[in-house]
Amino acid sequence: MIWLSWRQQRTETVIVLFVFAIAVAFLVPTGLHIASVYDDQGIAQCLAHPDGCGQTLGEFTTRWDSLVNLVAWFNLVPLIIGVLLATPLVLEFERGTHRLVWTQSVTRGRWLGVRMGFIGLGALASGLALTALMTWWRIPLDKVDSRLGEGFDFEGIAPTVYTLFAAAIVVALGVALRRTATAIGIAVVAFLVLRIGILGWPREHFVAPIRKTWYGAVAPDLRGAWVLTENHGFRVAAGYPNDPSIIQACVKPPKTFDQACMAQHHVVAYTSAVYQPASRFWLIQGIESGIFLCLTIGLVLFSIWWIRKRIS
C-alpha cells in the first residue's frame, strides 16, 4: 500500500522538488549577498549603537525593497505544494480507480490512512523546508526591520500550516465534487481570499495593539515592532491652554522652529503610534496558525466522513 501510494504521488513529488530547486537557486545567492552587505556596512554595529545610524539603517532596508517585493510571490508556494500533493487523491475519485483498491485485501480505512498520511507528511516536510530557507534568507532583514511585517508569512509555523490547509481544502472539495479542475479552482480562490482577508484586517487585531504617545525631540525606537500608524507633530503641554495659533506661530515646518517661543508657550514635539511589539510575534503566529489548523482539521474530518459514508 505504501509503495502504491508512492507510485501515485511520485510525479507530483518531483514537481514539488523542482519548485524547491527554483526557490533555492534564487534565495541562496541573494541571501548570501544581503548578508555580505550587512557585514560590509557594519549594520550590526549600527544596531548596537543606533545613534546617528538612522540613515544607514534606512538605506540598507530600502535597498532591498524590490527584492523583498519579488520574494513576496513565494507566498504562493504553500498553495502550489498543497495542490500538487492533494491532486493524485482527487484524481482517483474522479476516475473511479479507488474502487479497484477497495475490492482488494486493503481495507478502506487503511487505504485512507496511508493516502492521507502521505499528503500530510509531504505538506509538513515541505512547509518546514520552506520555513527554514526563508528564515535563513531574512536573518539580516529581520535584525533591522520587523518579523511581524513581510517575514511573518514565511517564518515560524505559518508556512507549514498554510501548506496543510491548502492540501486539505483541495482534498475536501475533490472528494465532494469529484472534479479535479473544479476543486482546484475553487480551492485556490478560497485559499487566497482567506489569506488576504486575514492579512488585510484581523491579524493586526488578534491582540489589542498598543497605543502610545511620546513627548520630546527624541523619537521612540520602534524598530522590530509592527507599526500600524505613526504620527508626528507639536502640541501645547498638558495643563496649559491649547491654542493652535500659538503652535502655528512657534512652529513653521519643515525647518523653522522658534525654540524660545516653544519654551515660552510650552509647545512640545510628540510622536504617537499604534503598534504591535516584536515580543508578540509568536502569540500572533499562534493565533493565526490555530485558525488555519482548526480549518484544516475540520476539512480532513469532513473528507474522511464523506469518503466513508457517501462514496462507494
What's the one-letter identity of residue 151?
Answer: G
Residue 38, C-beta contacts closer than 8 angstroms, at least 6 positions apart: 44, 60, 140, 143
Residue range of the domain that includes 241: 226-276
Quick check: helix, strand or coil at residue 113?
Answer: helix
Q: Is residue 118 located within the same domain as residue 85?
A: yes
Q: pLDDT per residue over 98-119, tens digit each?
A: 666 666 666 777 778 888 888 9
pLDDT-flagged residues of the chain (< 70): 1-8, 98-106, 217-219, 253-255, 310, 312
Domain assignment present for 146:
yes
DSSP for residue 211:
E
Q: Is residue 200 located within the same domain as residue 289?
A: yes
Residue 167, C-beta contacts closer than 8 angstroms, at least 6 positions apart: 81, 82, 83, 85, 86, 119, 120, 122, 123
Q: Is residue 114 located within the same domain as residue 239?
A: no
Q: Is residue 140 located within the same domain as residue 245?
A: no
Q: Tell me what pLDDT residue 67 has.
A: 94
Give phi and psi for 216, each to the nearest 5: 120, 170
Q: Is residue 257 located within the same domain as residue 124?
A: no
Q: Tell me what pLDDT residue 309 has.
A: 81
Q: Is residue 246 located within the same domain as residue 180?
A: no
How many other C-beta atoms lie within 10 A of the C-beta of residue 213?
11
Domain assignment present for 10:
yes
Domain assignment present for 213:
no
Number of domains in the chain: 2
Q: Tell me what pLDDT residue 101 has.
A: 66
Q: Tell me what pLDDT residue 219 has.
A: 65
Q: Is residue 196 located within the same domain as residue 153?
A: yes
Q: Tell me what pLDDT residue 129 has.
A: 95
Domain assignment present for 220:
no
Q: Tell me what pLDDT residue 224 has.
A: 84
Domain assignment present for 214:
no
Q: Tell me what pLDDT residue 99 has.
A: 64
Q: pLDDT per residue over 280-303, tens digit each?
A: 999 999 999 999 999 999 999 999
Q: Is residue 301 located within the same domain as residue 157?
A: yes
Q: Tell me what pLDDT residue 203 has.
A: 93
Q: Is residue 111 located within the same domain as residue 122?
A: yes
Quick check: helix, strand or coil at residue 256?
Answer: strand
Q: Tell me what pLDDT residue 146 has.
A: 86
How many other C-beta atoms lie within 10 A of the C-beta of residue 165?
28
Domain assignment present for 216:
no
Give phi and psi for 235, each to the nearest 5: -155, 160
Strand 226-236 versus strand 267-276 pairing type = antiparallel
For residue 49 the three cell numbers come to: 549603537
Q: Is residue 271 located within the same domain as residue 184?
A: no
Q: Tell me what pLDDT residue 66 has.
A: 94
Q: Is residue 168 located within the same domain as residue 291?
A: yes
Angle at 26 between CA 25 and CA 29, to 5 degrees: 85
Q: Tell me what pLDDT residue 254 has.
A: 67
Q: Tell me what pLDDT residue 93 has.
A: 84
Q: Tell me what pLDDT residue 141 has.
A: 93
Domain assignment present for 212:
no
Q: Tell me what pLDDT residue 250 has.
A: 83
Q: Is residue 111 located within the same domain as residue 178?
A: yes
